[in-house]
Structure 1
């Protein structure tokens, strides 16, 4: 039986529980048979893989690869993933560089299977990919019950990476808008409704910068290099998400009460 990471009832309180217990719980979780088996298989088989076709043709290898880069939902899109892996990361016009979601580019660069030349076996960093797989698997275990904590854990890592990149501030914001998990953090934290996603992209950029400046005193993405600023946006997200869920639950309870009264 696999271990389920314990975070109480989720939300911000669950986040604080996880902060105190994560090293111990992560160690226990990674001892699970499924995780260990997948890691061993990947370590043994991956050095012999020379083409993207071989990788997507092996379900277990593909599962570990996609999980490592947070792309589990693409498990059935084998043709697309193959084309992504074969795409030349040095060609600005290539498929992988045209995609706004940079998780695909990071996967392409890590797996070294693009069609421009045979990958160097020595350059493939299997241990790094496995470490990413472990981290994402730990987060996904929590996310199956408390998706808000999975999103916060992802943002703790990914938002910091974007903030430390050499891109312009606007380009950093566009990366956030292109990432479904990251944009969800800001949409919930700032109480942006469903209509936000239908706005023109330049208006979305303006709204995010404006609200970030008003709530945090700084409209830059670079501020999230500082742990305190990163903690602030994650706290806002988790608390507002908790309010949102409670509100939905209250409406549901009220509806049940009305129905019960109707049938009396």
Structure 2
């Protein structure tokens, strides 16, 4: 049986508990037979994969590969994943460059089937993909109990890479808006309504820039390169998430929360 990460009632208090116990709990989680078997199978068999067909036709290999990049929901969309894997990442018109969700581009680049250069296959880091698989599995285990903490962990891992890109602030915000997990964190942190995701993407970006300026004095995602600012966004998201959950449970919860401050 898979070890379930213990985080109490979740929310911000669960987040703080995770920060204190993550290393110990992950060490226990990694010893789970299912996690070990999947990781070991990938490490032992991925070298025999020479084309996209080999990967998409092997359920066990594909499940590890997709989990590593947070694309579990596409496990049964094999025809689509094959197109993603075979696309040329250097072609601006290819599917991986047209998709707003850049997790697909990362998957494509990790395996190099569409690069047109056989040598790129040697760049595949089996160890790094296996480690990503374990990390995502750990987060998914948390998400089954406390989705808000899984989303916070994802943001903590993914945002530094977006911030470091050599692109405009607007482009970085578009990438954030295109990622449902990241957008949810900012929706919560900024106190946007549940209807926010239905706004045109240009409006979403504009609203996030404005909210960012109010919180940090700058609309740039680069403000989150400071650990204290990243912590502030995550804390705001987690506390608001818990208040919203309480409000659903009882119409008086929000008023009680305010009175207790």
TM-score normalized by the length of structure 2: 0.93
Contact 2:90 2:115 in 1 (8 A): no
Look up the match of 2:30: 30
Look up the match of 2:141: 141
Look up the match of 1:177: 177
Contact 1:50 1:119 in 2 (8 A): no
Q: Which deviations, in whole Å up to 9, do the C-alpha atoms of 1:52-90 show, x marking residues without a partner?
A: 111010000010000000001111110000000000001
Which one is further off, 199-208 or 74-83? 199-208
Coordinate RMSD, CA, aligned: 1.5
Give structure 1 stretches of 5+ with no counterpart. 254-264
CA distance in 2, matches of 1:63, 1:46: 12
Contact 2:113 2:121 in 1 (8 A): no
SS at match of 1:218: coil
Kindly state the Cα deviation for residue 14 of structure 1 after the two structures are TM-superposed. 0.2
Contact 1:113 1:119 in 2 (8 A): no
CA distance in 2, matches of 1:139, 1:20: 16
2:151 is the alignment partner of 1:151: yes
SS at match of 2:104: helix
Look up the match of 2:45: 45
Based on CA coordinates, which of the two structures has the bigger radius of gyration? Answer: 1
The 1:194–1:119 alpha-carbon spacing in structure 2 relative to 1, beyond 3 Å, is: farther
Contact 2:89 2:115 in 1 (8 A): no
CA distance in 1, matches of 2:190, 2:120: 45
Q: Which deviations, in whole Å up to 9, do the C-alpha atoms of 1:88-147 show, x marking residues without a partner?
A: 001111011100100000010001222634354432110010111111011001001100
Contact 1:52 1:86 in 2 (8 A): yes
CA distance in 2, matches of 1:141, 1:45: 25
Give structure 2 stretches of 5+ with no counterpart. 254-261
Contact 2:111 2:121 in 1 (8 A): no
Misfit runs of 4+, over 6 Å: none
Contact 1:47 1:121 in 2 (8 A): no
